[in-house]
Structure 1
Amino acid sequence: MKNITLLGIDLAKDVFQLHGVNEHGKKILGKKVKRSELPTLIANLASCKIVMEACGSSNYWSRKFMSYGHEVFQISPQHVKPFVQGNKNDKNDARAIVIAAQQDNMPTVPIKTIEQQEVQMLHRYRESLIHERTALGNRIRGYLREAGLFLVQGLSQVRKQIPLILEDAENELTSGMREIIFSCHKKLLDLDKEIEKYTQKIEHFCKQSSVCERLMKLSGVGPIIASIVYATMGSPTNFKNGRHFAAFLGLVPKEHSSGGKQCLMSISKRGDRYIRSLLIHGGRAVVKNSGKKTDYLNCWIQRLHKERGYNKAAVAVANKNARHMWAIMAYDDKYVDHMKLCA
């Protein structure tokens, strides 16, 4: 136990599988441990490198193990899977985690603080409410179509037209149908209020955070984008540079090169789809309004829009914003936007 230099842990709800090796890569520990026993076992270990898959509860355990003086890393499950030998079980999974951790340049997942997880939870819950509201709006439309009633696209039309439809005694809606649609409409309005409530919570967090305030100075970056980037990035030192962070979000081209001939394709779309979509939406807003300004950055956007098209220009702005946000967080107040100096 004292000679362990690398420990892989296959996380679970109740029983955890451990696989420890020494400096020569030889296995010296392989056992199952109950959740209640794990903290004591890790606390009694000599300082070593602990690796686990980035999954549910991994941030909690990472913070706990770091408080014991260990060096902790999280690896994405997709990078661990190729190293699983034989059938899939807890023992082989823990061994695969150790093998993956021994590879050169193995990418790791940033460990989040409890504050960052709170912000991320706000976003995830708000996003789920938006999906629920969209599904409810579609459900109401489907119910009404069965009675020969059709609504124009947009949730605003659903909110406006439902009261009028329910008051109309000449349509084919039965009393039972009216009761269901009334209930759905009430739930839709409740979802609107709840979404607004959590949006305000995010905005309030950004007002209290000096980092988010600096991020929001960028064009196309508001409270929603600033807060989720802050929560996702963790420490800027997790990334070598801004390009590395943009690649982490899937905002760089896929490469399929061979024989010394470079071939770049569409963006890789790796990483968090939610953040990437927000950045691209912000980029679209910047491209749309770039014609109103004549500074260096907006002239570049206009030229890109003309030569490459609207969507590619929006993605380029999203990529640039991602790199700028990394620089702002990495260099703090020392960051200088050279694009503005060229204006």
Structure 2
Amino acid sequence: MDVSLETSSICIVDAQGAIQREFKVESEPEAMAAALMGTGLPFSRVGLEAGPLSQWLHAGLAKAGLSVVLLETRQLRATTKAMPVKTDRNDARAMAQVVRTGWYKAVHVKSELSQALRALLSGRKLLVAKLRDLDNGIRGLLRGFGLKVGQVSEAAFPGRVRELAEGQAGLEALMGPLLQARDAVRTERERLHRLVLAALRDDDVCRRLMTVPGVGPVTALTFCSAVDDPTRFSRSRAVGAHFGLTPRRYQSGETDRVGHISKQGDSLARQALYEAANVLLTRTGKWSALKAWGLAVARRTGMRRAKVAVARKLAVVLHRMWRDGTEFCWSREVIAA
């Protein structure tokens, strides 16, 4: 199924790859299930490309008794690129052959709780970004008149802006609505942050992960919602690669190049781990073997690469703590994890 917002293209093939049916249907799980069942054909697998609607459609089709798999987007892109003409119909044909041959990587379908937590974290991040945009926009407008806000706290920002605009009627009229909008965004951001803290109160796993230096409520909840089920990783070292924190590599013949990190997987979790690594290396006062290891990497390769390395190590440590039910070890034993 090649899914779009309004309609989806469906291609059904048999075990030999011959096309049996092709049609379009409304992008609703009930309509899709009815269309497939109406063909009277037995289905061994139904493939959906991972996307914004995929988990909702997956749940509806699975409820109808169909064996549904979510397909990794990057892998499918490599398949459809080989086709000279790109249409929804051709994409559905390519996906059908990928599902038939088994040449695909199935994407983990998260639980409803993890999806709800991810939505909460994404909403909070959106308001954080909008608040930052408002602050920067206000600073830029004032700078055009030679007025510099300088370094002030978040709470003192409105007072400083009003002080600078005082006596200039045009600026006062402009800054009033902007500051009111800023106050509204800040209030709602705090409301969402309280919901994040409330979600942590009854979550023993997240509270245990917060014993790691640099890992706060947002990072712990982001990591848990991204991993969802720790048993789906056979080795803790695979978690760092899953979040795109390991280098790319190109090896062919005599050529062997190691590049930057892949940046695949959950970008929200990768960002949270990087921020936790930054706090661990630059703000945490208490010493630990993990911090000593990170600072040693920083001396060899620079602080920026050290933060990425520590972020990858944090992913490994957090997953191992989750699997084993242990707390953070401040001694060198943490490096062996």
Query: TM-score, length-normalised on structure 1?
Result: 0.83
Q: Note the alpha carbon deviations across 1:49-79, whole angstroms, 9 max, x for none.
A: 2211111211011122223343322223332
Change (3 A) 1:110 1:155: farther
Residues 123-147 of structure 1: CA deviation (Å, up to 9, x unaligned): 2111111221122112212322333
AA at the equivalent of 1:315: V
Identify the match of residue 235 of structure 2 among 225, 229, 241. Answer: 241
Map of 1:283 onto structure 2? 277
CA drift of 1:154 comes to 5.6
Distance 1:336 1:287, change over 3 A: closer
Cα shift at 1:325? 2.8
Relative to 1, partners in 2 of residues 1:105 and 1:310: Cα closer, same or farther, differing over 3 Å? farther
SS at match of 2:11: strand
1:332 Cα deviation after fit: 5.0
Residue correspondences, number: 328
Classify 1:42/1:236 alpha carbon distance in 2 versus 1 (closer, same or farther; 3 Å). farther
Structure 1 vs Structure 2: percent identity of aligned residues? Answer: 24
The residue type equivalent to 2:201 in the other structure is: K
176-185 or 31-40, larger mean C-alpha shift: 31-40
Contact 1:111 1:234 in 2 (8 A): no
Structure 2 unpaired stretches of 5+: none
Q: 2:259 aligns with which of 261, 265, 268?
A: 265
Could you say if the C-alpha distance between residues 101 and 246 of structure 1 is closer, same or farther in structure 2, counting changes exceeding 3 Å?
farther
The one of 54, 63, 66 equivalent to 1:67 is 63
The residue number in structure 2 matching 1:91 is: 89
Contact 1:110 1:233 (8 Å CA) reproduced: no
Q: State yes or no: 1:299 paired with 2:297.
A: no
In 2: Cα distance, 1:205 partner to 1:46 partner: 43
The one-letter code matched in structure 2 to 1:265 is G
- Secondary structure of the corresponding residue to residue 107 of structure 1: coil
Matches within 5 A, 1:184-333: 184-259=178-253, 262-288=256-282, 292-293=286-287, 295-329=288-322, 331=323, 333=325
1:162 equivalent in alignment to 2:161: yes
Q: CA deviation at 1:319?
A: 0.5
CA deviation profile, 1:292-332 (whole Å, cap 9, x unmatched): 42x54343334323333322222121111112233344x35
Give the Cα separation in 1 of the matches to 2:325 and 2:36. 39
Q: CA deviation at 1:248?
A: 2.0
Return the letter of the residue paired with 2:68: V
Counterpart position of 2:22 = 30
Residue in 2 aligned with 1:179?
173
Aligned-pair CA distance for 1:161: 0.6
Aligned-partner SS, 2:48: strand
> Partners in 2 of 1:270 and 1:147 — Cα distance?
43
Pair 1:48 & 2:40 matched: no
**Bigger shift: residues 296-305 or 87-96:** 296-305
**RMSD between superposed Cα atoms in Å:** 2.9
Does 224-233 or 27-36 show the bigger shift? 27-36
Shift of 1:95: 1.4
Task: Supply the distance in 1 between the matched residues of 2:4 and 2:310 (Cα, whole angstroms).
Answer: 40
What CA distance in whole angstroms lies between the structure 2 residues aligned with 1:158 and 1:290? Answer: 27
TM-score, normalised to structure 2, is: 0.85
Give the corresponding residue for 1:4.
none
| Rounded Cα–Cα distance in structure 2 between residues aligned with 1:275 and 1:342 | 23
Task: Please give the alpha-carbon distance, in whole angstroms, between the structure 1 residues aligned to 2:321 and 2:35.
Answer: 40
| Correspondences of 1:59-138 after superposition (within 5 Å) | 59-84=55-80, 85-102=83-100, 106-138=104-136
Give the 4+ runs in structure 1 shifted more than 6 A: 334-338
Letter in 2 for 1:128: L
Q: Which moved more, 1:11-20 or 1:275-284?
A: 11-20
Measure the CA separation in 2 of the matches of 1:311 and 1:105: 37
Separation in 1 of the partners of 2:133 and 2:298?
Answer: 34
Match of 1:12?
4
Render the CA deviation track for 1:19-77: whole Å, top value 9, x for unaligned. Answer: 12223333223222233522334567645322111112110111222233433222233
